[in-house]
């Protein structure tokens, strides 16, 4: 059986802002239908990586391939069209405060599709049921919903264009354990029902273990030597629990480890 070509490839990808390099020589590929979790502490470049995948940030070196095309070589018009093949679930849902929930969900369709209004609304109701929300929320505004409900609205909006790839940026941040697990279950159901490729940026190891086929861990460049790779783990969720790299095991277990010792070191002044 011939393996499927990767839907996404990152080839020697580096991103720098001024003098600060955030991503360095990242080489990763994602297969169609795969669920990839990207973990790592704050500041290691996880969200920058997501934005680079869809051309919101241009790489300083290297490139991203999506479905056989180099993303950085696309025109703005071509990029806008390619982004309709992605769904993006933002960390804080990123709903439009002045719009109702119905208007938020329908926004991508009305921007990019010329279907009749009745067809739009049928799709919206189907998605609302898919994410487990009652129709009574449609007339409300985001501020009237709980954090978990807003996240589910964000997922419905991301699905409305029937994307090939779903990008999740910290989907369970700020949620209690039960609501977090509801979001995890929805991500799994979405992947099964829509046959999408999923890339999930998360600090939540429960999410990574439950939702992902594969876990990649990035490490902040400020804590690496010049010749050390930024990807310090790439494997299955079961393998990460057996990782021998102390940096990986400390993150997975939520242990301060070396960081606590650093806090106790005497500070030097220039």
Q: Are 44 and 218 in contact (CB under 8 A)?
A: yes
Instruction: State pLDDT tens for residues 8-41.
Output: 999 999 999 999 999 999 999 999 999 999 999 9
Q: Is the pLDDT of residue 246 over 50?
A: yes
Q: Are 155 and 169 in contact (CB under 8 A)?
A: no
Query: Chain-wide mean pLDDT for the chain?
Result: 90
Nearest-angstrom CA–CA distance, 85 and 55: 13
Question: Could you tell me the pLDDT band of residue 163, with boundaries at 50, 70 and 90?
Answer: very high
CB atoms near residue 56 (< 10 Å):
12
**Taking phi first (over 0 means left), then psi (-120 to 50 degrees means alpha), and beta for anything else, what does residue 159 get?**
alpha
Task: Locate 261 and state its tokens.
Answer: 């010792």
Q: What pLDDT is recorded for position 254? A: 86
Q: What pLDDT is recorded for position 269? A: 42
3-state class (DSSP) for residue 151? helix
Q: What is the mean pLDDT of residues 193-213?
A: 94
For the chain, domain boundaries: 1-82+198-259
Percent of the chain with pLDDT over 90: 73
Nearest-angstrom CA–CA distance, 34 and 11: 18
Question: Could you tell me the pLDDT band of residue 1, with boundaries at 50, 70 and 90?
Answer: very low
Q: What pLDDT is recorded for position 30? A: 97
CATH fold of 1-82+198-259 reads Rossmann fold (3.40.50)
Nearest-angstrom CA–CA distance, 135 and 126: 10
Q: What is the mean pLDDT of residues 240-268?
A: 77
Q: What is the mean pLDDT of residues 178-205?
A: 93
Sign for the pseudo-dihedral over CA of 13, 14, 17, 18:
negative
Output the furthest CA–CA distance in the chain (Å, rounded).
Answer: 68
Q: Which residue has the higher pLDDT, 4 or 185?
A: 185
Sign for the pseudo-dihedral over CA of 46, 49, 51, 56:
positive
Q: Would you state the torsion angle of the CA atoms of residues 127, 140, 207, 235, taken in this order, to the nearest 10 degrees? A: 60
Q: Is the pLDDT of residue 270 over 80?
A: no
Q: Is the pLDDT of residue 114 over 70?
A: no
Closest to 201 (Cα-Cα) out of 27, 38, 22, 89: 38
Of 102-116, 118-132, 151-165, 206-220, the least confident: 102-116
Q: What pLDDT is recorded for position 260? A: 64
Q: Is the pLDDT of residue 91 over 50?
A: yes
Give the DSSP per-residue string, 169-219: ESTTTT--HHHHHHHHHHHHHHHHHH--EEEEE-S-HHHHHHH-SEEEEE-
Task: Locate 97 and state its tokens.
Answer: 């405060």
Nearest-angstrom CA–CA distance, 269 and 85: 51
Q: Are 165 and 191 in contact (CB under 8 A)?
A: no
CB atoms near residue 186 (< 10 Å):
20
Q: What is the mean pLDDT of residues 125-134?
A: 92
Q: Are 4 and 52 in contact (CB under 8 A)?
A: no
Instruction: State pLDDT tens for residues 64-77.
Output: 999 999 998 999 99
Nearest-angstrom CA–CA distance, 156 and 60: 33
Question: Could you tell me the pLDDT band of residue 158, with boundaries at 50, 70 and 90?
Answer: very high
């Amino acid at each position: 059986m011939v393996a499927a070509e990767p839907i996404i490839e990152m080839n020697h990808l580096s991103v720098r802002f001024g003098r600060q390099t955030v991503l360095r020589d990242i080489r990763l590929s994602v297969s169609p239908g795969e669920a990839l979790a990207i973990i790592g502490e704050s500041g290691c470049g996880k969200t920058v990586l997501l934005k680079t995948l869809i051309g919101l940030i241009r790489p300083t070196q290297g490139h991203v391939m999506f479905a056989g095309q180099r993303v950085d070589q696309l025109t703005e018009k071509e990029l806008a069209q390619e982004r309709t093949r992605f769904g993006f679930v933002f960390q804080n849902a990123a709903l439009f405060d002045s719009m109702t929930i119905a208007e938020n969900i329908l926004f991508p369709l009305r921007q990019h599709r010329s279907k009749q209004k009745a067809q739009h609304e049928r799709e919206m109701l189907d998605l609302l049921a898919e994410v487990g929300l009652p129709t009574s929320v449609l007339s409300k505004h985001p501020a009237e919903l709980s954090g978990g409900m807003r996240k589910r609205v964000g997922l419905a909006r991301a699905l409305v264009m029937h994307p090939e790839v779903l990008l999740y940026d910290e989907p369970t941040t700020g949620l209690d354990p039960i609501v977090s697990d509801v979001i995890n279950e929805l991500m799994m159901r979405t992947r099964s029902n829509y046959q999408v490729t999923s890339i999930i940026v998360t600090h939540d190891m429960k999410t990574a273990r439950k939702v992902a086929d594969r876990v990649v861990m990035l490490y902040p460049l400020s804590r690496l030597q010049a010749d050390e790779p930024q990807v310090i783990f790439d494997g299955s969720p079961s393998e990460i629990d057996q990782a021998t790299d102390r940096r990986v095991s400390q993150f997975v277990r939520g242990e301060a480890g070396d960081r606590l010792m650093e806090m106790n070191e005497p500070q030097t002044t220039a």
